[in-house]
């Protein structure tokens, strides 16, 4: 993949950047600006080179229609606050490629940044029809001279602003995309050992391909979160009212038979009668979950075992919380794993999505970890061994 340096002198050039600014927003307040901050180095680099920087990004799933709930206006404001110390002005266009965008591009000065409105307001962005996507890509390309792909969280999508526009302009990978790919290569090609993978989150079905691909590569696979109850049920244990995917039991039994002691399951579970923050929590053995209770976190003994495995590793990849970390009573397992990751003598990777949100909500600084990925789904698909369209297209001339 070409880098920004390969694009030559960018002074006065219009540079279209696909960033991932998909952050949680409620009542116009951004809950976690991690993805915005991760986009800054590339934007600053381009602006300081004298480029006219035009950013396209998405927020949520507005289903191809303008929707005030998904406007990028609050993101533009936050981006402006973060770039102000660099002396960089941020402007905002109220449409994707229409009159407002075209006028704003014409008025853009060297070293300034323009954020276009949510690209998913245009139904062509996510269209399965190549011609429809291509038409939007043509409009985006008309705004710029070159394209920089820096939204790693969307490179697994074959979308107009990710894939098609790269085929219409001279293109390069931004610093964030290059950093993500570098880390993922270290996880898949020749990881320092011991190599420990920690998987959590709600569903086994979301992680099947990752488990398939990593079982042969990792030394230990620690399983927590809602997905653990399908593993426990596959062992013949009662799981009460816990989250369970009955249709995955045979597949999970296959993993357990194949992997032996490589798969580490919790030995105790924090349970409660209801999915509520104030529901009374108790700790039970993992093979003795009461029928009227549901598991909401790994237990304290398991948290110690998981933490010890993580801290002793040289390479760790973690995707998915160990429990319902948003509720204090069920955050202990996730916090223990996060703390252990900060103590790894080697590469520790927090695999984006809910894991990244969890470590920040629990009070950990980003620089406490080797790498916090901005792309949960993209990271998982890379680790599954899939070709990611948004990366493959950057390798084309």
Would you name the residues annotated as active-site residues? 35, 203, 353, 377
Known binding residue 207? Answer is yes
Structure-block tokens of residue 365: 């600084």
Please indicate if the annotation marks 363 as binding a ligand: no
Is 262 part of any known ligand binding site? no
Write phi, then psi, for 396 (nearest 5 degrees).
-80, 150
- Residue 283, Cβ neighbours under 10 Å: how many? 15
Q: Is 226 annotated as a binding residue?
A: no
Q: Is 257 annotated as a binding residue?
A: no
State the pairing for strand pair 14-18/146-149. Answer: parallel
Is 120 marked within a binding site? yes
How many angstroms separate the CA atoms of 318 and 363, rounded?
Answer: 17
CA 100 to CA 41: how far, in whole Å? 27
Residue 60 annotated as binding site? yes
The DSSP secondary structure of 160-175, one letter per residue, reads IIIIIGGGTS-EEE-H
Check whether 249 is labelled as a binding-site residue. no
Known binding residue 274? Answer is no
Query: Could you tell me the CA-to-CA distances from 311 to 327, 344, 351 in Å, in that order?
Result: 25, 5, 17
Residue 59 marked in a binding site: yes
Terminal Cα-to-Cα distance of the chain (whole angstroms)? 9
Quick check: 298 and 268 in contact, CB under 8 A?
yes
Give every CB contact of residue 254 below 8 A, 6+ residues apart in sequence.
Answer: none
Report residue 381: phi and psi, to 5°.
-65, -35
Rounded-to-integer distance, Cα 144 and Cα 130, Å? 21
Q: What are the residues whose beta carbons fall under 8 Å from the beta carbon of 41, sequence distance 6 or more?
A: 175, 176
Q: Does 355 carry a binding-site annotation?
A: yes
Would you say 319 is a known binding-site residue? no
Residue 109 DSSP symbol: P
Tell me whether residue 20 is annotated as binding: yes
User: Is 35 part of any known ligand binding site?
Assistant: yes
- Of 276, 274, 266, nearest to 229 by C-alpha is 266
Binding residues for substrate: 20-22, 35, 58-61, 120, 157
Binding residues: 20-22, 35, 58-61, 120, 157, 207, 295, 326, 352-355
Binding residues for (2R)-3-phosphoglycerate: 35, 120, 157
Binding residues for ATP: 207, 295, 326, 352-355
């Amino acid at each position: 993949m070409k880098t920004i340096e390969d694009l030559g002198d960018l002074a006065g050039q219009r540079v279209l950047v696909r960033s991932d600014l998909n952050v949680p927003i409620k009542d116009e307040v951004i809950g976690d600006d991690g993805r915005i901050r991760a986009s800054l180095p590339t934007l600053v680099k381009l602006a300081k080179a004298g480029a006219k920087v035009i950013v396209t990004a998405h927020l949520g799933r507005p289903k191809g229609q303008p929707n005030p709930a998904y406007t990028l206006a609050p993101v533009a404001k936050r981006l402006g606050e973060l770039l102000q110390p660099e002396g960089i002005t941020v402007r905002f266009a109220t449409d994707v490629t229409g009159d407002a965008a075209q006028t704003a591009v014409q008025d853009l000065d060297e070293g300034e940044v323009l954020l276009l409105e949510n690209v998913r307001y245009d139904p062509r962005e996510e269209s399965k029809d190549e011609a429809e996507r291509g038409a939007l890509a043509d409009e985006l390309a008309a705004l710029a001279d070159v394209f920089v792909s820096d939204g790693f969280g969307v490179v697994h999508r074959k979308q107009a602003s990710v894939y098609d526009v790269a085929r219409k302009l001279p293109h390069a990978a931004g610093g964030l995309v290059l950093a993500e790919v570098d880390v993922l290569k270290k996880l898949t090609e020749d990881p320092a050992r011991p190599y420990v993978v920690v998987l959590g989150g709600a569903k086994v079905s979301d992680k099947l391909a990752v488990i398939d691909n990593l079982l042969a590569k990792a030394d230990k696979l620690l399983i927590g979160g809602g997905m653990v109850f399908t593993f426990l049920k596959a062992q013949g244990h009662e799981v009460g009212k816990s989250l369970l995917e009955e249709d995955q039991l045979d597949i999970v039994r296959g993993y357990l038979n194949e992997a032996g002691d490589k798969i580490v399951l919790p030995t105790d579970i924090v349970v409660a009668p209801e999915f509520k923050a104030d529901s009374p929590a108790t700790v039970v053995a993992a093979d003795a979950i009461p029928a009227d209770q549901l598991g909401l976190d790994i237990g304290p003994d398991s948290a110690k075992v998981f933490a010890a495995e993580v801290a002793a590793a040289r390479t760790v990849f973690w995707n998915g919380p160990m429990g319902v970390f948003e509720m204090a009573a069920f955050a202990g397992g996730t916090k223990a794993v996060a703390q252990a990751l900060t103590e790894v003598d080697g590469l520790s990777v927090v695999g984006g999505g809910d894991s990244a949100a969890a470590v920040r909500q629990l009070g950990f600084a980003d620089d406490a970890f080797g790498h916090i990925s901005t792309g949960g789904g993209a990271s998982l698909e890379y680790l599954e061994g899939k070709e990611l369209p948004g990366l493959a297209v950057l390798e084309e001339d």
